[in-house]
């Protein structure tokens, strides 16, 4: 049996040197990118955390105030949210219904199409208003869910109503 000997020659050394140079370049690029990233405000996750920090404070304030509510009062918050959403959207919903009813009473196809286009624009505006009201309700709704989870966890630990 013959053993292969590893011979070090000029070609092997130059390949090894190239591999080290490439590795060093990649390391320098990563280091520079990390430095630039720190200069411009950190990573995406750090920016996201900074962005939601005020929201977290608001959620925790609501959460603390909901601890004193009874289970029925906490359950009633859901209906309160629904009522607030309906109230916020009531005007535009009425306008949309009126436009659609108006379109049904028109005989001319082009005129009817124009009225339906107006109704579509109103529906887009309704979606924007819905998003606005949901953003306003978000901290309270999240606090309700957080408190509900806390209550279920407490009940499970004590042995009652554990699912």
The span from the CA of 96 to the CA of 118, in Å, is: 9
Residue given tokens 């990573």 in the structure block? 43
The answer to whether residue 40 scores a pLDDT higher than 90 is no
Q: Specify the pLDDT at position 150.
A: 87
Is residue 82 very low, low, confident or very high in pLDDT (cuts 50, 70, 90)? very high
Q: Specify the pLDDT at position 44.
A: 74
pTM: 0.64
Residue 5 is given by DSSP the state: P
> Which has the higher per-residue pLDDT, 6 or 146?
146
The span from the CA of 121 to the CA of 39, in Å, is: 43
pLDDT per residue over 105-155, tens digit each?
Answer: 888 889 999 999 999 999 999 999 999 999 999 999 999 999 998 888 876
The answer to whether residue 67 scores a pLDDT higher than 80 is yes
The answer to whether residue 157 scores a pLDDT higher than 80 is no
Sign of CA dihedral 86, 126, 99, 116: negative
For the ranges 42-51, 85-94, 122-131, the lowest mean pLDDT is seen at 42-51
Q: Specify the pLDDT at position 38.
A: 65
**122 and 95 in contact (C-beta within 8 Å)?**
yes
> Which has the higher per-residue pLDDT, 8 or 132?
132
Is residue 46 very low, low, confident or very high in pLDDT (cuts 50, 70, 90)? confident
Residue given tokens 């590893």 in the structure block? 6
> Which has the higher per-residue pLDDT, 2 or 140?
140
H or E element: which one contains 149?
helix 109-158
């Amino acid at each position: 049996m013959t053993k292969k000997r590893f011979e070090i020659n000029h070609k092997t050394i130059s390949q090894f040197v190239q591999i080290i140079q490439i590795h060093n370049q990649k390391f320098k690029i990563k280091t520079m990118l990390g430095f630039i990233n720190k200069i411009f405000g950190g990573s995406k996750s750090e920016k996201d955390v900074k962005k939601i920090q005020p929201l977290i404070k608001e959620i925790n304030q609501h959460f603390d105030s909901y601890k004193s509510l009874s289970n029925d009062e906490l359950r009633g918050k859901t209906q309160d949210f629904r009522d607030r959403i309906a109230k916020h959207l009531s005007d535009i919903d009425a306008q949309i219904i009126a436009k659609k009813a108006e379109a049904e009473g028109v005989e001319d196809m082009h005129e009817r199409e124009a009225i339906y286009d107006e109704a579509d624009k109103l529906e887009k505006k309704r979606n924007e208003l819905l998003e606005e009201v949901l953003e306003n309700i978000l901290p309270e709704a999240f606090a309700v869910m957080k408190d509900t989870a806390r209550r279920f966890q407490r009940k499970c630990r004590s042995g009652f109503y554990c699912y």
